[in-house]
Amino acid sequence: MISAIRLFLLVFWTLLLMFVAPFFILITFNRQFPLIIARTVFPSVFKLLAGIKIETFGKENIHKEQPAIYVANHCSHLDIGCLCLSLPINLHFIGKKELAWVPIVGWYMYVAGHIFIDRSNKKKAFESLRKAAVKIRKGKNVVMYPEGTRSKTGELGEFKKGAFHLALMANVPIVPVHIKGTFEVWSTNNFKITPGNVTVRIGKPIDSSKYTTQTIKKFADETRDTILRLKNQ
């Protein structure tokens, strides 16, 4: 019963802020305002509702003056909230274009300036990445989950190459991030939330200029290896 209440309140709180925050743009004339809410107001209540304690290591590896692509493992719906709390910057998430039509969630993402990718075919996907690269070069910090979906086991899966192509196109570094504990709190395909501890470790930026489209697999593999090392620290 307590777990069900936690889940209900967590979903309600998330949707409430997604619905309300964009209206403040009309008052503040600042499109970044929903993102500020997402990293301040949202996570402070979110962690209480989920019953989690979060420790963050490696904040010194975040260079606020330079945009980057933050690449993280993905085990739970809680990962987004944990990153919003742990990374002291406005974060933009990348989602498939179909999300734009989802009530509240899609509207919030569109108004807040999150990035949509059309994955219906390779040509459209590439054009979407090109447009995303322009936005990142102009200063947007982006979070991507290169596994492509949430892990069903809690273990780190193989990486797809989209995030790394995007880093090359935008000429920005990849910042590796490992999130530990969210799978145990709220795993994939599980409606039970079990309070616990979460650790977020932020690695040193990886310079994308050392790689090319011909060495993109090496770029992805070395980033994955770095995240595994963060996991074992």
- For 124-152, the pLDDT digits (tens) are 878 888 889 999 999 999 999 999 889 98
For residue 95, what is the domain's CATH number? 3.40.1130.10
- Tell me phi and psi for residue 15, to 5 degrees: -65, -35
Spatial contact of 177 and 203, defined as CB atoms under 8 Å apart: yes
Look at residue 222 and tell me whether its pLDDT is greater than 90.
yes
Summarize the confidence of residues 195-220 as an average pLDDT. 96
pLDDT at residue 24, rounded to an integer: 85
Whole-number average pLDDT of the chain: 91
Q: What global pTM score does this model have? A: 0.93
The pLDDT value recorded for residue 98 is 87
For 80-129, the DSSP string reads: HHHHHHHS-S-EEEEEEGGGGGSTTHHHHHHHTT-EEE--SSHHHHHHHH
Q: What is the average pLDDT across 3-9?
A: 87
What local confidence, expressed as pLDDT, does residue 185 receive? 94
Boundaries of domain holding 174: 2-231
Chain segment 150-186, per-residue pLDDT in tens:
998 889 999 999 999 999 999 999 999 999 999 999 9
Residue range 13-58, pLDDT digits in tens: 999 999 998 888 888 888 888 899 999 999 889 999 999 999 999 9
Domain count, the chain: 1
Element counts in the chain: helices (H) and strands (E): 10, 7
Cα end-to-end span (Å), the chain = 36
